[in-house]
Structure 1
Amino acid sequence: MKEPMIRPIALCVFRHKNRILVFEGYDPVKEEVFYRPLGGGIEFGEHSSEAVVREIREELGAPICNISFLGSIENIFTFDGKPGHEIVQIYDAQFCDAFFYEQEYFEAFNDRGERFKALWMDLELFKDESAPLYPDGLLEMLWGEMADAARGMKQ
């Protein structure tokens, strides 16, 4: 049996008109549809910010700019009946090409060459947890950041 490991990953939040870009996943054991920002594993010797750039280029073929670190989340979870543990570096960025903001969804590819759908979803849809946004804590991080930005505008 393979020794359990903690996996370092980097995810990127793209925002547009109170929506974020996510992929739709499915856990067959829980029979649950869930959503997560795009990104993936950090390779040995690679900074997490470099991993975000590489992953988005691999998944969407898109260059990104204005990358900023939002925070880190430790994610302990179960997927497909198996335990997982990730240290997740969360980034915010923008697409350099406005084309990506004009589409409702994209066909993207994971590191195994499998297709998946990336789509824009309104942040409000994640509030009632009927559409779970993973990793746990990400939604609170995004709402907190938006509240901080709003307070900064008032001062």
Structure 2
Amino acid sequence: MIHFKSAEGVFNFRSVAVIIHQGYVLLHQQRGDDFWALPGGRVEWFEDSATTVVREIQEELGQTATVVRPLWHAENFFGFDGKRFHELSTYYLMALVDSNLPFGEAAFSGVEADVDLIFKWFPIDELAAEPLYPEFLREKLSSLPEGVEFIRVNELD
């Protein structure tokens, strides 16, 4: 995976899934976290980011997904768990193929053996009240761009 740690901080190259169904978006959190995020994961060496996000959905949810189109390329600087992060992410609109995921407002567990993830569908028009990161998603998910947008977020300033 493309992930570096140094005395100055952590660098990640991520690929992220935006899965929307009937006005709801699928979010996840690691058990014990107090915030939500979109599913996805780190890109592997010599793996393109679209392949990464399809693989991550299979690993985390046991579901086959396809990329519809890229939405955002984000450069994000933030602090977490006492560390400074520099993260590059590509966000993809995804479609699930023959999904058997539960739909509704109840949370459900992911299937990845070594990570305890909880998933939940959230109404897009109610995201402003949720602890969702990166924060730009609270607004941007309600109006998806027609083309790819570049977003820079610096929470370290």
Q: Which TM-score band (shorter chain)?
A: 0.7 to 0.9
2:27 alignment partner AA: V
Decide which structure has greater helix share. 1
SS at match of 1:34: coil
In structure 2, stretches of 5+ residues that fail to align are 1-5, 148-157
1:91 alignment partner AA: Y
Give the root-mean-square deviation of aligned CA atoms. Answer: 2.7
Counterpart contact for 1:16–1:101, Cα < 8 Å: no
| Distance in 2 between residues matched to 1:8 and 1:46, nearest whole Å | 11
Number of positions where the alignment pairs a residue of Structure 1 with one of Structure 2: 141
What TM-score results when the alignment is normalised by the length of structure 2?
Answer: 0.76
Deviation at 1:79, TM superposition (A): 1.0
| Distance in 2 between residues matched to 1:66 and 1:47, nearest whole Å | 12
Q: Deviations over 1:17-41 (max 9, x none)?
A: 21100113578xxxx7211110000
Which has the higher mean CA deviation after the structures are superposed, 113-122 or 3-12? Answer: 3-12
Map residues 2-151 of structure 1 onto 2, 5 A cutoff.
Answer: 2=7, 4-25=9-30, 33-100=34-101, 102=103, 104-110=106-112, 113-128=114-129, 131-145=130-144
Counterpart contact for 2:25–2:122, Cα < 8 Å: yes
| Distance in 1 between residues matched to 2:141 and 2:24, nearest whole Å | 11
Counterpart contact for 2:10–2:84, Cα < 8 Å: no
| Distance in 1 between residues matched to 2:22 and 2:134, nearest whole Å | 22
Deviation at 1:136, TM superposition (A): 3.0
| Distance in 1 between residues matched to 2:64 and 2:82, nearest whole Å | 35
Counterpart contact for 1:36–1:133, Cα < 8 Å: yes
Change (3 A) 1:76 1:41: same
| Distance in 1 between residues matched to 2:36 and 2:76, nearest whole Å | 14
Q: Compare CA radii of gyration and give the structure with the larger one.
A: 1
Deviation at 1:109, TM superposition (A): 4.5
1:89 alignment partner AA: T
What TM-score results when the alignment is normalised by the length of structure 1?
Answer: 0.77
| Distance in 2 between residues matched to 1:81 and 1:109, nearest whole Å | 28
Deviation at 1:146, TM superposition (A): 7.0
Change (3 A) 1:57 1:125: same
Deviation at 1:132, TM superposition (A): 2.3
